[in-house]
A and B are shown apart, each in its own frame.
Chain A
Amino acid sequence: EVQLVESGGGLVQPGGSLRLSCAASGFTFSSYNMNWVRQAPGKGLDWVSYISGSGNTIYYSDSVKGRFTISRDNAKNSLYLQMNSLRDEDTAVYYCARGGRVEWSSLNWFDPWGQGTLVTVSS
Chain B
Amino acid sequence: EIVLTQSPATLSLSPGERATLSCRASQSVSNYLAWYQQKPGQAPRLLIYDASDRATGIPAKFSGSGSGTDFTLTISSLEPEDFAVYYCQQRSNWPLTFGGGTKVEIK
A interface residues (Cβ-Cβ under 8 A, vs B): 35, 44-47, 50, 59, 61-62, 95, 105, 107-116
Number of interface residues of B (CB under 8 A): 23
- Docked complex: B15-65 residues within 8 A CB-CB of A: 32, 34, 36, 42-46, 49, 55
A107 & B46 in contact (Cβ 8 Å cutoff): no
* Other-chain residue from B32, B92, B96 in contact with A47 (beta carbon distance below 8 A): B96
* Other-chain residue from B91, B93, B99 in contact with A109 (beta carbon distance below 8 A): B91
Answer whether A46 and B94 are a contact pair too, CB < 8 Å, given A110-B44, A110-B46, A113-B43. Answer: no
A44 & B91 in contact (Cβ 8 Å cutoff): no
Answer whether A47 and B97 are a contact pair too, CB < 8 Å, given A107-B92, A108-B91, A109-B49. Answer: yes
A5 → chain B closest CB, angstroms: 11
Query: Does B98 sit at the interface, judged by CB under 8 A?
Result: yes
Q: Is the interface of A mostly helix, strand, loop or mixed?
A: loop
CA distance A113 to B89 in the complex (A): 14
Answer whether A107 and B93 are a contact pair too, CB < 8 Å, given A113-B43, A113-B44. Answer: yes
Q: Is the interface of B mostly helix, strand, loop or mixed?
A: loop
Across the two chains, which residue of chain A brings its CB closest to B94?
A59
| Given A95-B44, A111-B46, A113-B45; 13 other pairs, CB 8 A cutoff | A44-B99, A45-B44, A45-B89, A45-B101, A47-B97, A105-B91, A109-B89, A109-B91, A110-B89, A112-B45, A113-B43, A114-B43, A115-B42
B24 → chain A closest CB, angstroms: 15
Across the two chains, which residue of chain A brings its CB closest to B33?
A109
A50 → chain B closest CB, angstroms: 8
A-B CB contact pairs (8 Å), 17 listed = A35-B96, A44-B98, A45-B36, A45-B89, A47-B95, A47-B96, A47-B97, A107-B92, A107-B94, A107-B96, A108-B91, A111-B49, A112-B45, A113-B43, A114-B43, A115-B42, A115-B43
